[in-house]
Copies of this chain bind each other. A is one copy, B any other.
């Protein structure tokens, strides 16, 4: 097992990605190829004293910035660390790709370099959402702003497969995100998607509402990438606000500070459950290879977890399994949302 890691991806690159690779190699025994400008990556790696860990460096002279136009950056810079790392996967030199860099660019690099699984029109970015009962998988969360019903069906199939093979849910409950539980609810896209999903052999539990995500009513929640992106960013923002307010109240006066000390272990457990860093990044499902996009703010532990998830997807033969079971397609070539 070898994972190609974009050493230059993320707000804290190369320090945190390199440190994450060291953690993954040391704690999980996964071989990691660090991809980025050789001297920069080698210097960073040397600082972290990797000893004889299974780490290698592949040179990539260029980098895609966090704010660059994804498609243009990927097209114009073949020597960018993302492109080079993705090619290692295509050639079979690596088994999976991990980056905490520009999400749109990682999606574009995955699509252009690896191509789509046969039968999948629109690869989708999926993310794990913490719930009362554990977690659910939400997709698409940003790869496709405008979708057709057949795309949502493909997301459902890919999500079900990931939930089963990687997250270990025996019979994932698949829900369609809507503005009401009844079959008649939803916008035009959702109403038609509901009809199609009912005809599949998935364990489709019907429409789910916004409040069903944190409740854990479904294991897989399907939506278009515009809605999914708003949903995960809203959840992130509410989490931030809640912890800001808590911090203010916990440090408001001496009595509350004492209370905070007594409650520290419990509050830490809550924060831990809500922490995206624990969940190891978002898989790009539907491309011919394992691609995991970690959060831009990922620290070493988050990168390690993303590498762990990549390893699980490889072991589970996720994309090979996807290729065997997708509904008929009606779509033309890949179109990327801007």
Q: A: which residues have CB within 8 A of B?
A: 131-132, 142, 145-146, 177-180, 184-188, 190, 209-215, 224-227, 229-242, 244-246, 249-250, 252, 255-256, 258-263, 265-267, 269-270, 273, 338
Contact = CB atoms under 8 A, between A and B. Distances in A.
Contacts of A269: 249
Nearest to A217: B237
B245 A256 contact: no
A224 B189 CA distance: 13
A237 B263 contact: no
A146 B252 CA distance: 46
Contacts of A185: 145, 338
A234 B234 contact: yes
A187 B256 contact: no
A270 B256 contact: no
B263 A261 contact: no
A319 to B, nearest CB: 25
The 7 closest A-B pairs by CB, nearest first: A259-B262, A249-B266, A211-B237, A210-B233, A210-B234, A179-B229, A259-B263
A233 B211 contact: yes
A158 to B, nearest CB: 20
Given A211-B236, A238-B238, 5 more contacts: A179-B230, A231-B234, A249-B266, A256-B266, A259-B259
Contacts of A241: 131-132, 214-215
Contacts of A240: 211, 214-215
Contact of A210 (B145, B212, B230, B252): B230
B266 A187 contact: no
Residue among A227, A236, A237, A270 with most chain B CB within 10 A: A237
A146 B224 contact: no
B259 A237 contact: no
A176 to B, nearest CB: 11
A259 B232 CA distance: 32
A246 B258 contact: no
Contacts of A239: 238
Contact of A263 (B227, B233, B260): B260
The winner among A132, A211, A234, A244 for most chain B CB atoms within 10 A is A234
